[in-house]
Amino acid sequence: MIGGLFIYNHKGEVLISRVYRDDIGRNAVDAFRVNVIHARQQVRSPVTNIARTSFFHVKRSNIWLAAVTKQNVNAAMVFEFLYKMCDVMTAYFGKISEENIKNNFVLIYELLDEILDFGYPQNSETGALKTFITQTGIKSQSKEEQSQITSQVTGQIGWRREGIKYRRNELFLDVLESVNLLMSPQGQVLSAHVSGRVVMKSYLSGMPECKFGMNDKIVIDKQGKGGATEEAAGKRSGHQSIAIDDCTFHQCVRLSKFDAERSISFIPPDGECELMRYRTTKDIILPFRVIPLVREVGRTKLEVKVVIKSNFKPSLLAQKIEVRIPTPLNTSGVQVICMKGKAKYKASENAIVWKIKRMAGMKESQISAEIELLPTNDKKKWARPPISMNFEVPFAPSGLKVRYLKVFEPKLNYSDHDVIKWVRYIGRSGIYETRC
Amino acid sequence: MEWANQLCENRQFGSKMTDSKYFTTTKKGEIFELKAELNSDKKEKKKEAVKKVIASMTVGKDVSALFPDVVNCMQTDNLELKKLVYLYLMNYAKSQPDMAIMAVNTFVKDCEDANPLIRALAVRTMGCIRVDKITEYLCEPLRKCLKDEDPYVRKTAAVCVAKLHDINAQLVEDQGFLDTLKDLISDSNPMVVANAVAALSEIAESHPNSNLLDLNPQSINKLLTALNECTEWGQIFILDCLANYTPRDDRESQSICERVTPRLSHANSAVVLSAVKVLMKFMEMLPKDLDYYSTLLKKLAPPLVTLLSAEPELQYVALRNINLIVQKRPEILKHEMKVFFVKYNDPIYVKLEKLDIMIRLASQANIAQVLAELKEYATEVDVDFVRKAVRAIGRCAIKVEQSAERCVSTLLDLIQTKVNYVVQEAIVVIKDIFRKYPNKYESVIATLCENLDSLDEPEARAAMIWIVGEYAERIDNADELLESFLEGFHDESTQVQLQLLTAIVKLFLKKPTETQELVQQVLSLATQDSDNPDLRDRGYIYWRLLSTDPVAAKEVVLAEKPLISEETDLIEPTLLEELICHIGTLASVYHKPPSAFVEGSRGVMHKRLPARTGSGESTESPDVGTAAGGSAPEAAPSIIPSQGDLLGDLLNLDMAPPTTSGPPPPTTGMQMGGMDLLGGGLDSLMGDESEPPHVPPRMDTPRSPSPQPPSPVYTHTDYTYTDYSHTDSPPDHSPTEHSPPAELGGDIGGSPAMGAGFGAAPAVMPASLNAPVGGGLGDLFDLGGVGMPMGAYIPPKIVWLPAMKAKGLEISGTFARRAGVIQMELILTNKAMSVMTDFAIQFNRNSFGLAPAGPLQVLTPLGPNQTIEVSLPLSTVGPVMKMDPLNNLQVAVKNNIDVFYFSCQYPISMLFVEDGKMERQVFLATWKDIPNDNESQFQIKDCHLNSDAASSKLQGSNIFTIAKRTVEGQDMLYMSIKLSNGIWVLAELRVQAGNSNYTISLKCRAPEVSQCVFQCYEAVLKN
């Protein structure tokens, strides 16, 4: 299991050092600094073995978190834990920075004592932790409060405490998708997938039992068979179903039930949680198409023309559109003309950045640029990195639709109809690249 | 965006606390001030002071002097302060065990506190105080806490048992805590169950044979129930524990799988991977024709793909595991090629792993896409990545025959880019393509030759030379090309030299008329001017072959080479099976068994996949199921080692690994088992260095390579030459590579995989060869084919200075006499965590005035886990002092850390000089002249050499036979030895046919050397 956990600043100075196991000594702290942080070359692996000691590290801005062990630990768990540790710290004091860590080092030690025991990760749900790691000294808790805390920390429903009350029962569902694309210069889709998340913010009283439904192909088909013809079922639901390649759920979702009936039921944590992550690869709506044209004119000039086409309902508006056209390292000057938005050559980033605030569906826009090059005797050709794009659209590129979210709270007297529900869809670009 | 809200919530929080100030106090007299503050009456001040202490502790300052003062603060009702004091205690209790006892009372009291959080805190902390005396006091509170009414206390106590076991295992057993822990598996609270499982699993690991966990269908059922209810971490503990269970039959196996599969949808990647581990293992038991089996296979793919959308570090872990899964069950991901396409912004470690998996998944169906991608990658920036991409193109060509032509043309395109390392890499892989598809793509040779000048890496040069030699008849100016390489022969690396030698011999056999001079030149360069035994031996073999029977030589050297197999780089099947059982863990990341990187007893137990049992057994044998790659049984791929080794293997087996620094060691020494070789990695490689280069000394090494009449005739089949050439793989991420044993036979033909050498491949060995050349070969083979330069006996390297005694520096070594120079051959290994520099060496005065003839040449700093071989020439002109034993040498080695002393004994034979052959007359006179009192007699037992063999063996160590007399079936050999200080030793060796005991009489004016000389005789004759 994890033998020790260290946090360093970018210089390699130790900010936090907590040793859980006897086989990890102080010299391990230095070994990591010397061999990884101060190493000249780029990090070639997130796992490093130095003198039979393994170091796992992640970096958040310029802070290094390293977990150390001498045993054959579960490597995936160690990284998951490190990420979780970052989440917990962020939830407590905001951004992970040297300043914040130094300011909260007592708190961090307290957290580390709680969420890692002898190197074994324990309950690390911030909701639960915040009930008893408060940094305000010991409160005179009543016996009931104490046992409530401990049963929440260890219980089956560690993410929610009893007795929550809201005057207005409300919930917000965000379907956040990031659409990823790699397209060849000829317009052939090399790979495309959507990775989506359903984020739920709930303000519900009691211990509400929820059931979430979406236009999952498997469910719809099953219902279709159960009812009339498939076609009719499709019509009834009003829209098309989508094929989900894979999905993962927040720990509140009953996985065995999903496995057996493909129904998503759960008691949500209070406030915000990421209910579900999913991935689709079929029938993706690609919101934009990029058509690049690069021509080398002699050795000192490049002509670039890029057309972008929006491909969704004309009534919808895409926002925050940014096209990034890489330029060679020996670029000396750039002239740009664009039909819409603003374009600028950014020498420090070796790219032309073209920004458009808004663009409706089924439109087209174009940019052309002339790039002057300095003559070099570098034999190596320019690698031509792909043209990348950023945008935000108000629909889900996967085609996912929320069909229902039912809430049952048998003990309290509010029904599903009393709950105010909001749904919104946001599609963003992930890695959206076209080779040129 | 989510946490921005929380940030606002916590703002009042953050502004209030400015704890960073504690990091800045660095005044002198600080400790004294802190002491005063700690003893202050004001609570606030006390707390501030403790915070300062903890901050100092974090930065690494020693604040142990404050122990009593800090412990005094322990009695407080302020929980925050208490936790800080506990933190301090955990760190320093070990250094102040007596004072730590002071804390016991508070702990015991806290364990009775009404607040469960405080009870748990006390028992948690107490377990972390690793002081023997405290453990006694811990038992009672722990026992209570294990049965506490509050689950939070119980789950903490469960882990505490593991802590206590780590300090004092006996105590835990005696106190019966293990039974209590087992009971907790049936606890009503899922988290208590999970922690109990974790603790028991850990304890069980250090008692491999105990049946601690006692997994049976009932307990498994309990675990599976808890699995649905506990936290994500608990699910990991339980799944990892489940993976150790072996179901009784396929039905049980299936029912467990059914209950584990829902975990594949968990958001935590570690839960997913641990579930995959259980499924991969239990699947082994399911009959393949079962419907459920194929359903399960289908279910595995999507979660594995989903892992690739995790953060890069997790992606890396996932990819390393997928690499194993793809080798074990390629069918799972065969349609998922696209997800492994490299993204421009992937970190390099993700890119390299993806590339590896892409090649494994390449098939006829997807090859077009793969090739297009690879070509794209070959224009990227990162040199390692580009190289690997180019290599991958070559591997595709070998793997998918239909694509070979396109691959070759892609490679040619890449060569046209003239980017140096791309060209070199392309040439290396084209050579492999030639081996796979002979007589198909030779038209490209012309293009390759154009790039001859730009090749500066040994591997590429060697590959190019191989191509020129192999296709000499098609290259008009092959002789010129090879001659141009020959000019700088001495500056080339061994692999290039060896290759050049072979290539020129091939050329000679193909165009004998024009190239006679060239071949003479290379043979003399290889045999006379080289220090490398491998090169010299190969030179001699060729020379003898050529001078004895050129026709036979042609048949041997130009023998048809077997095709190379297509699957490369596979992990050896037994290791793969073990690694599958370790999915998700470090072992699966390193691709090494845990024993290779875990110290002590933990994890040494090898895990195995279960055998298929049960009702619905399919006809397929389990072996086939486990054969790598899932290929048909008769075509189970032979494993070709990857990359560096691959090349060595293809061209000629014993190219020195390119990473070796310093003088290339004889690659022959490592005779390790396959497992060890894989597992040990660097460490075991170094650790086992003591294994001798077990080489029979050669006695009849011709100084000039005139063909000699073969003396003893050996059959080739007797001789196996095993070469585990080794690539030092850095222990961090690259997999240890394993090369299969290769035969010397392959070496000669320039083909490594020539079956079982000459013996097993009679077709290659024409009958005409058997008589004269065969003998000669056998003779040479007997010499080991690896021979020592002078044939002198060199004792095996032994560890002189263990790392424990020298702050991590380990020195092993031996002495040798090479070409008249005494050398001390050292292997320095840095087993510490810091870099070592500034090495120097000095000898104490000794019997023969040995002294270093130059400084210790360790030019580069020796990093952690690094090893360096140094050879130190010695002179015999140093100060003299008689030692006991006579050949004792006391050595001091200095580095930047300290000075270390050790003593070692050298074989006196290294002092025997080359001109030690006495004239017969002088010998007789001297023998008579030395008084009989100075004669000593010894017996050498169990030596089975005949007198001639013995004599030539001894000559290798400068023990010269002057005369031989045979009296009544007993051979009397008279010998002389001259020591470096001019002392003569005369010897009479009596060898009786049929008697394995020799008698030896030694006469010397300084009789004290006799004992040492005798030891030498024994060592030389018996090795």
pLDDT at B1019 over 60: yes
**Calpha distance B476→B463 (Å, rounded):** 19
Which residues in chain B are closer than 8 Å to A4, comparing Cβ atoms? none
- Mean pLDDT within B941-969: 81
Calpha distance A49→A42 (Å, rounded): 16
Segment A287-332, tens digit of pLDDT:
999 999 988 888 888 899 999 999 999 999 999 999 999 998 888 9
B669-687: string of b/e by CB count within 10 Å (b at 16+)? bbebeebbbbbbbbbbbbb
Tell me: ipTM over 0.95. Answer: no
Which of residues 509 through 548 in chain B touch A, CB cutoff 8 A? none
DSSP-assigned states of every residue in B749-804: HT-TT-TTHHHH-GGGS-GGGTTHHHHHHHHHHHTTSS--SS----PPPEEEE-GG
Give B812 or B774, the one with higher predicted confidence: B812
Higher pLDDT, B801 or A78: A78
**Selection from A141-145, A387-391, B79-83, B888-892 with the highest mean pLDDT:** A387-391
DSSP string across B285-317: TS-TT-HHHHHHHHHHHHHHHHGGGS-HHHHHH
Tell me: pLDDT of B234 over 90. yes
Q: What is the pLDDT of residue B604?
A: 55
Q: What's the mean pLDDT in A52-66?
A: 93
Question: What are the residues facing B823 on neighbouring strands?
Answer: B816, B873
pLDDT of A188 higher than 70: yes
Q: How far apart are CA B103 and CA B93, in angstroms?
A: 10
pLDDT, residue B218, reads 86
Kindly state the percentage of chain B with pLDDT values over 70.
78
Instruction: Give the pLDDT score at A383.
Output: 72
Predicted pLDDT of residue B528: 85
B685 vs B972 pLDDT, higher one = B972
The Cα B115–Cα B210 span in angstroms is: 37
Q: Taking residues B573-599, what's their average pLDDT?
A: 91
| Residue that has been written with the tokens 């090495």 in this structure | B839
Mean pLDDT of A364-377: 89
Span of A396-410, B333-347, B786-800, B943-957 with lowest mean pLDDT = B786-800
Task: Look at residue A56 in the predicted model and tell me its pLDDT.
Answer: 96
| Contacting residues of B for A100, CB less than 8 Å apart | 14
Average of per-residue pLDDT values in chain B: 77
- Mean pLDDT over each residue of chain A, to the nearest integer: 88
For residue B695, the model assigns a pLDDT of 38
Mind listing the pLDDT tens digit for each residue in B503-533?
Answer: 999 888 888 888 888 888 888 888 888 888 8
pLDDT at position A407 is 92
Q: Does the distance separating the beta carbons of A43 and B349 come in below 8 Å?
A: yes
Q: What's the confidence (pLDDT) of residue A136?
A: 63
Q: CB A13 to CB B17 under 8 A?
A: no
Nearest by Cα to A408 from A272, A251, A207, A262? A207
Higher pLDDT, A11 or B957: A11
Our CA angle for B429, B430, B431, nearest 5°, is 90
pTM recorded for the entire structure: 0.68
Tell me what pLDDT residue B626 has: 37
List binding-site positions of A. Answer: 342, 344, 346, 355, 357
Mean pLDDT of B590-598: 90
Q: What is the pLDDT of residues B32-43, one digit of tens each?
A: 888 888 888 888
pLDDT at res. B964: 83
Phi, then psi, of A367 in degrees rounded to 5: -135, 140
The residue among A429 and A25 whose pLDDT is bigger is A429
Q: In the predicted model, what is the mean pLDDT of residues B154-179? A: 91
Question: Who among B166, B316, B586 is closest to A72 (CB)?
Answer: B586
Give the integer Cα–Cα distance in Å for A234 and A224: 7
Distance, CA of A342 to CA of A356 (rounded, Å): 7
Instruction: Give the CA radius of gyration of chain B.
Output: 35
Asked whether the beta carbons of residue B585 and residue A51 sit closer than 8 angstroms, the reply is no
- Taking the Cβ of residue B680 and every Cβ of chain A, the question of whether any pair is shorter than 8 Å is answered with no
pLDDT of residue B653: 33
Q: How far apart are CA B672 and CA A339, in angstroms?
A: 71
Chain A residues with beta carbon closer than 8 angstroms to that of B86: 113
More confident residue, B323 or B616: B323
Q: Interior CA angle at B724 toward B352 and B501, to 5°? A: 95
Query: Based on C-alpha coordinates, what's the Rg of chain A?
Result: 26
State whether residue B266 sits within 8 Å of chain A by CB.
yes
CA-nearest of B842, B849, B843 to B881 is B849
Q: Which residue has the higher pLDDT, B568 or B270?
A: B270
- CB contacts of B87 in chain A (<8 Å) are 109, 113
Distance (Å, whole) CA A37 – CA A43: 9
pLDDT of residue B752: 36
B418 in reach of chain A (CB within 8 A): yes
The pLDDT value given to residue B443:
84
Give the per-residue pLDDT at A235.
47
With a cut of 90, say whether residue A361 has pLDDT above it. Answer: yes
Question: Please, which residues have CB within 8 angstroms of residue A234's CB and are 6 or more apart in sequence?
Answer: A220, A224, A240, A241
Least reliable range by pLDDT among A120-134, B333-347, B507-521, B786-800: B786-800
pLDDT of B48 > 60? The answer is yes
Split at pLDDT 50, 70, 90, the class of A239 is: low
In angstroms, what separates the C-alpha of A13 from chain B's closest C-alpha?
8
Contact A8, A15 (CB under 8 A): yes
Q: Tally Cβ neighbours within 10 Å of residue B558.
A: 17
Average pLDDT over residues A56-68: 94
* Residue B740: per-residue pLDDT: 36
Query: How does pLDDT run across B477-498, given as a tens digit for each residue?
Result: 888 888 888 888 888 888 899 9
A331-338 sheet: strands from edge to edge: A288-297, A301-310, A364-373, A331-338
In this predicted structure, the answer to whether residue B773 has a pLDDT above a threshold of 70 is no
Window from B204-208, B414-418, B843-847 with minimum mean pLDDT: B204-208
In this structure, what token pair is assigned to residue B549? 């029977």
**Distance, CA of B493 to CA of B647 (rounded, Å):** 15
